[in-house]
Amino acid sequence: MVNNARRRRGAGHGTVQRLLARLDDLGLLGSSPLVALSGGADSTALAIGMGELARSGRLRPRLAHIEHRVRGDSSRDLTIVLGTAERLALPLSIRAIPEGAIASHAGTGPEEAMRRERYLLLAHVACDTGCAAVLTAHHVDDQAETVLAHLIRGSGLDGASGIRPATTLTVPWWPSPVASRPLVVIRPLLSERRRDLAALVSDHGMAVVDDRTNRDVDRTRAALRHRVLPVLEEIHPDAAVALSRFAEVTRATIDELPPVADTVRLHRELPMAGFADSSVAAQRFSIREWVVASCGCTLTFARTEAIRRWVVSAGVGTLEIGGGWSIRRAGRTIRLHDDVPDRRRATP
């Protein structure tokens, strides 16, 4: 009798076949993508799929692991990651976030600071190794958690659009002496459920990193994962899939809106042409896009509205908006000002 788990392994596994189709749609077959590997179940599933496609000659992927140095068992994490790379016969690059780098992101929470540093190092590895894009293992459940997190903060359309399947970042997107460079980020598993990725890892008998912070329900994302989404799925089966589709519809709506001009990114100035005559909804959207393009911060509804009222009422002086940023008016120009210019002291 053929073992069912063994039969599901390999390039014939449904998850791997869907991964192949998405990469084909993106024109990545035959390229050399960089796979971000934390060692957790999700990124390990992505690495397994990429390993299968590499063996079939469709891709030339390599792995990248970023050490965060925030948990005492990080050496065990590295051992697991090294074992994964060896079993999949894929090249692996390892980088560590520099000492003091997290603290240098004044006004930013530790999770966001680590995300910034992680993408900065991934951009360097991609450049050094000639990889065309970085692949991450975000999936349907991640998307649902992200949408819910933004909705409860009142983040508006931009937050409700969730995680994009593909995007090009300019890294770093925050003020930094480090030279910026474009980074193409692809999330090819964004239509997969967490449980299916876990099944792929189990079928291959791979060891994975257990990040205890993922179970810390004092953290918003963990609380949504373990307390909120299970209840929503009891009320409406596949609620996570529905939230993911909602994000997709919202992204399509946003993509029909005019893009933020390059002058906004360069000079952090709020585009004022027609602002006063536009609707309240359009004003809020312009303010959110302006702030995201200028400093990468996502505003809550309350903060967006405070800025909007300050702008339309011709507020003077300085308006602090959090995260070490403020808004200043000089004549007819409204500009975002960085109150903590040395946000990133260490250069990798």
Per-domain boundaries in the chain? 4-215, 262-338
Pairwise CA distance, residues 38 & 30, whole Å: 24
Whole-number pLDDT of residue 271? 79
Of residues 313 and 246, more confidently modeled: 246
Structure confidence by residue, pLDDT tens digits, 277-331: 888 988 888 888 888 777 777 788 888 899 899 888 887 788 888 777 888 887 7
Whole-number pLDDT of residue 348? 37
Pairwise CA distance, residues 205 & 182, whole Å: 36
User: Which token pair is 165?
Assistant: 């399947």
Whole-number pLDDT of residue 117? 92
Pairwise CA distance, residues 14 & 10, whole Å: 9
Cα–Cα distances (Å) from 47 to 31, 36, 87, 117, in that order, read 15, 8, 11, 21
197: pLDDT strictly greater than 80: yes
Whole-number pLDDT of residue 73? 60
Whole-number pLDDT of residue 282? 83
- Residue 198's contacts (CB-CB under 8 Å, 6 or more residues apart) are 41, 45
Is there a contact between 47 and 149 (Cβ–Cβ < 8 Å)?
A: no
Burial of 241 (0-12, 13-18, 19+ CB in 10 A): middle
Is there a contact between 234 and 130 (Cβ–Cβ < 8 Å)?
A: no
Is there a contact between 131 and 119 (Cβ–Cβ < 8 Å)?
A: no
Torsion-angle region of residue 259: left (phi > 0), alpha (psi -120 to 50) or beta?
beta
Residue type, 130: G
Give the number of other Cβ atoms within 10 Å of residue 246's Cβ: 17
- SS3 state of residue 94: strand
User: Which token pair is 348?
Assistant: 């990798």
The crossing angle, in degrees rounded to 10, of helices 239-255 and 140-153 is 70
131: pLDDT strictly greater than 70: yes
Pairwise CA distance, residues 318 & 320, whole Å: 6
pLDDT band (50, 70, 90) for residue 259:
low
Assess if CATH 3.40.50.620 describes domain 4-215.
yes
* Phi/psi of residue 53, nearest 5 degrees: -70, -30
Q: Which of 163, 295, 148 is nearest to 230 (CA)?
A: 148
Strand bridging mode 325-330 / 92-96: unpaired
* Phi/psi of residue 118, nearest 5 degrees: -65, -45
264: pLDDT strictly greater than 60: no
> How far is Cα of residue 248 from the mean position of the Cα atoms in its chain?
16
Structure confidence by residue, pLDDT tens digits, 75-107: 788 999 999 999 999 999 999 998 888 888 877
Average pLDDT along the chain: 86
3: pLDDT strictly greater than 50: no
Pairwise CA distance, residues 204 & 223, whole Å: 29
Q: Which of 15, 2, 6, 7 is nearest to 200 (CA)?
A: 15
